[in-house]
């Protein structure tokens, strides 16, 4: 994928089965959080760091590059885990895709949790809101 200058899209010949992955610290980790975009996966990791200090690398983070099944299936073939957390956008396409993926994975025996962003459309918006709240609280204590 590329977003340099005015270019926005996939390079010809790119393989959609590879998502953007931040692996858990423990190779035996049994949980993956799925996001639509890398910025949302990084935001989810940062939110975990803010709320569960020191534990942000306790799960795998996989960004799909959109609403795409291929990276999910490829990742789950490579990693023997049981827990999948769906962290898709809070919009109609994201909600529909979450329902489809949840049903598909539950039929395959996975434990599936849908986790919407607490605030805003996606996890990046949620992080921005949360960060501003923390900064405001810190400013009030000074």
Q: State pLDDT tens for residues 67-96.
A: 999 999 999 999 988 999 999 999 999 999
Q: What is the reported pLDDT for 2?
A: 59
Q: What is the reported pLDDT for 136?
A: 83
β-sheet with 31-35: strand ranges across: 20-22, 60-63, 31-35, 83-86, 111-114
88-102 pLDDT, tens digit per residue, is: 999 999 999 999 999
Q: Could you tell me the two tokens for 120?
A: 């805003």
Burial track 32-68 (b if 16+ CB lie within 10 A, e otherwise)? bbbbbbbebbbbbbbbbeeeeeeebbebbbbbbbeee
Q: What is the reported pLDDT for 4?
A: 64
Q: Which runs of E-coded beta strand occur in the chain?
A: 20-22, 31-35, 60-63, 83-86, 111-114
Predicted TM-score (pTM) of the model is: 0.88
17-47 pLDDT, tens digit per residue, is: 889 999 999 989 999 999 999 999 999 999 9
Q: Provide the terminal-to-terminal Cα distance of the chain, rounded to the nearest Å.
A: 44
CA distance 69 to 128: 28
Does pLDDT of 112 surpass 70? yes
């Amino acid at each position: 994928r590329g977003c340099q200058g005015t270019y926005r899209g996939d390079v010809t010949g790119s393989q959609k089965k590879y998502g953007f992955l931040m692996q858990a610290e423990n190779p035996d980790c049994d949980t993956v959080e799925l996001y639509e975009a890398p910025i949302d996966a990084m935001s989810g990791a940062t939110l975990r760091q803010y709320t569960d200090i020191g534990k942000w690398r306790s799960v795998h983070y996989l960004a799909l590059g959109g609403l795409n099944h291929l990276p999910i299936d490829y990742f789950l073939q490579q990693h023997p885990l049981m827990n999948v957390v769906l962290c898709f956008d809070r919009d109609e396409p994201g909600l529909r895709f979450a329902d489809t993926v949840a049903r598909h994975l539950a039929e395959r025996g996975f434990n599936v949790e849908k986790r919407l962003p607490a605030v805003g459309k996606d996890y990046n918006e949620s992080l921005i809101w949360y960060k501003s709240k923390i900064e405001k609280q810190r400013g009030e204590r000074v």
